[in-house]
A and B are shown apart, each in its own frame.
Chain A
Amino acid sequence: MDEYILIFRHQDGHKVASPEQIQVWMKQTMDWIGGIAAQNKFSGGNGLPFDGAKVVHHNNIVTNGPFGEIKETIGGYIIVKADSVDEAVEFAKGSPVLQGDGNTVEVRKIAKGNGPH
């Protein structure tokens, strides 16, 4: 069985949601993750808060970010166990992130530890 990372990309990380809305998303996300974990297919994951985020550029220039010039921002990821990329894609389809127009979940296989694949 392979591992796949599901990367949540948000169209605009700038938008401020209401606490109630955030709570609804939190529940949906936890229910989604719980459903994957109940199949023993969850390997790990985390949210990536925007607060205090920085971007290091060429020549070590550091900016606050990733806002402004970058259209899409990464809001978090989970790692799932799946037999095929198709199975991982089925997991991704349930992600509440996809309720946002323009948001995407990128599915990428994780290379195994025995060298680059």
Chain B
Amino acid sequence: MQHLLTCAQKAKYLEFKNFVSSNVEPFSEKWDQEQKIPERVIFSVAESGYLGSTLPLNYGGQGWDIVTFGLLNEALGRGSSSLTSVVTVQAMVSMALLKWGTDEQKAKWLPPLATGNMIGAFALTEPGVGSAVQALATEFTQDAVHDTLILNGKKQWITCGQHAGLFLVFGKLGQSSIACLVPADALGLEIEPIGGLMGFRSAGLAKLTFNNVRVRSSDIVGRPGFALSHVAPVGLQYGRISTACSGLGLLRGCFEESIAYSAVRRIDEKTVGEFGMIRTLIAGMGVDLEAGNFLCHNACRAENDHVPEAFEKALTAKLFTSRAAVRAASDAVQIRGASGCHESSPVSRFYRDAKIMEIIEGTTQIHEHLLGKIFVDQAARLCN
């Protein structure tokens, strides 16, 4: 895919890979075991401009194109899915706010989000409500005090919830869907870390409980009634692009670890890579890697060009790379044998993280449901 990149994009990709090899890869297993990424690491990501990469320069962002954003996520995904998820949710909140925020909201929140002085989190998922977001139970009610809402409800599996200073919370106001900015220090908001995850163990997931949290009407993002149809899709679009590219990075990690091991591990007189069964597994990874590269590039280009097809391109890339990452991680562990089953091995972490890729930003089944309908409808129109 290198031939599709501009010189500037190639240079940034090299910078990202150098950052990851120095600051991420040597420490990923430790973070995974401790279920925590040190604040100084997130600070170094922020200091490099990676948390405001897609925000415009006038808000303090980097103003990068979406292909460069994809390359950043791919490079980080090679090192740590958990660390990449900080970039994912920051983009989800920032880009939803950039699109639908008022001038006052954007002036107040985008500069700290762009520099990373403020970490954002996308509070959509609830206990019992994952991909079926129409069934949200989190409730906003009008307060007697003018221009104030009262927020009650629970959110779960909120990535970066432990680090976030600002939540974009989705719920209902009467029969209308609503999205609202809620600072982490709001009175009545309890943030409870979630531990014991299979993968994404250091992604700072949290459970949020809102007990009569007072929010200002001026903190509503978009207009009531459009939170699920227009605000959430902007965030989820960036979430899917980021996750697709992060999954691609994980896939590359599986491929690189597997070929390196296969070249040196010997059984009798032969290296592992000389066995046909191993070559079959590596060939599968290599082909998926090539295909995933094109699908991710396609999705990033479509979003960058702001075309209606961008949504299905992102769904396609995310569906493909998350499933391919699961296959590759399983095969990478198989190639490594017992040593791949130990927590000190990156492929062990890849195996656990890859499965999470099939769950977040819409499950594999939700992607298949949406894309299946899109493709069938397209075929029906061709027949008419």
Q: Do A and B come from one complex?
A: no
B residues lining the A interface (CB < 8 Å): none
